[in-house]
Structure 1
Amino acid sequence: MWVHLEGLTEEDDLREAATGAIEAGIGCLVVAEGTADFVGSLARVRLLEVRGAGLFEDGRRVGDLVSIRSQDDVDEAIKLMAKGHIVLLDTPDWTVIPLEDLVAARHGDGLPGPALAVVENAEEARLALGALEHGVDGVVLRPTAAQDVKSLVAAVCGIGAGEDFFQLSVGVVVRVHELGLGDRACVDTVDILRDGEGLLVGSSSAGFLLVHGETIENPYAAVRPFRVNAGAVHSYVLVPGGRTKYLSETEAGIRVLLVDRDGAGRPSHVGRLKIERRPLVLVEVEAGGARFNAILQNAETVRLVTPAGHASVSSLEEGQKVIVYMPPAARDGDGDGTGPGKATGRHFGRAVPERIIES
């Protein structure tokens, strides 16, 4: 990620913004013509100076700034990328479609020049980095105010933070108890799940079970590879940013996290939530000296991820091993809020260190 400071020309604003970006670990700043010497005096950092539509480094043109307003502009950007130029893509009427065209050309045609999208917030960065799965080569954050630089950099850097990998554990089933009827939630995502992938679901903040997506062939129902039959409506489900939501809240458009047995995670969106009355079963596990549970639909097609594959909840037995996730505070604490890692509760979905008893 780079930071674009061309719009800041007052020395005080420029100093605050540049210093904030450098302290946040940014290695390249895009600056207005005539300001490179001043910014360079603040710290050693790579500087690209905007002169007209060109990007200059140490007096040599190394790239171009292209404002995307029409297909002609897209074609011009592709020509520059074909020449090996660095291309900063500015889309004033922000839309992801031109970026998708350029990403397709970059990867489909093997263009040597990198394409970076100019963005103003984390949401624009997320869309740009996800265009056609490959995403642009990077983003250039353009703050509107000097004091916003650090928070914006942190927000953009946070895309995917804590979502790429989870330290999963192996838990042992200690109790399987049929409960009778209750309301359960099926989460239909907008992505096709892979084998071994699902949602992390639990009745408490102490631990989550990895519920497998409906990707497994069975004699009872057609596969629904976009779906996770996630459990009872009261359950927590892990979402981006280390937060949780109740399953009953995961309506269309809400972001959730798809996680596989190796701990690799990726964000997805809910396309539809289905709540229906079904027979339920409580599955209690033990891991790391703690016990926690998930309440799931009692059906052959509902499966938990295991170290070697998956297991239907309808045939679970005590002693069986399943994949679980214990948040760091729960994993490292002693469960009573007094140890080296305090017990963790949830307040509006956020983890909060506090004394809490959940059973």
Structure 2
Amino acid sequence: MKKGYLLLETGEIFPGTLIGSQEESIGEVVFNTSMTGYQEIMSDPSYAGQIIVFCYPIIGNYGVNANDFEAETLYAKGIITGEICNAPNHYSSQGSADILLKGSEVSGLTGVDTRELVKTIRKRGTVKGLITSDIKQFPTIAHSDFLVKEVSTSQPKTYENPGAHIALIDYGHKKSILHALLKEGCKVTLLPYDTTFNQVKALSPDGVVFSNGPGNPEELKDHLAEIKMISTHYPSLGICLGHQLIALAFGARTQKLLFGHRGGNHPVKETSTGKVFITSQNHSYVVKEESLDLSKFEVLFKNINDGTVEGIRHRNLPLVAVQFHPEANPGPHDTTYLFSAFLKSINERTEVMSYAIN
């Protein structure tokens, strides 16, 4: 067991024991409050470039398995835990979390006072951190890489099904989004993040889903005109980063939260009914409500804790975008109905077009 440290760019030092690859690693330090689902969290592409601090005291107690990955590899820069279990006990376990980290060449640190670390992040805001075996001066960090390109598919891939054809534009999609669409009977074509309107048009999809992904949505500003064209011409659903991109494409602005929303118990209120849903979230950026054109969009959901925008709906187009994750994994399934509602809007549009033609 080798001693290690998490150094924050703001000067704080948190000691612990190195796990995983034990290589030096630097990234944006964020925390997640979920009590379960650590494998799904670690493999969520939205964590690319980040070091994840788990608030729940012990991680790894039920092991890991081949079915709970949200991507083919781990994109996180590191994992911080209070404790880690190296002798998991669960019927589906195929190995430990530490073995997964080693195999994925991801560094980690355990035995850390995660409560104090989270308090520090909440006070300082999201900061850069370095997992290392030596206490040293914090290194100078260049501008972060364009993370979406790292996690997006490079080539289109189609999953056959007899239902509606959905184009899933991949900014770093979670596997659970794809599975939710397949479960609804959809044929799904996974597309690279830089897919153009003409390329989508050539596929003749019935609808488009803009996925979640890592980083600042403004890094994709060169693609906003294409996103607006696509979402204007096809029934569309945006999730997390996809939500932010749709808002930007229609002239709104985004801003970075102090420490983001990450966990499986975030309450959001449906503005039209007052009904509250518990949601799974993972994001640093939100859409600024005052920047929305309310003649074109209505605010569909709001975060109860801080009042930020959690969903929007176009007043004239079959276009909905939400900041949370309706597919959950991990998290509650309160809002999975949004997938069936999206398909309903596609079917209604198809019926109207068919009636107009006949």
Classify the TM-score, shorter chain: under 0.3
TM-score, length-scaled by structure 1: 0.26
TM-score, length-scaled by structure 2: 0.26
- Whose strand proportion is higher, 1 or 2? 1
- Whose helix proportion is higher, 1 or 2? 2
Structure showing greater radius of gyration is 1
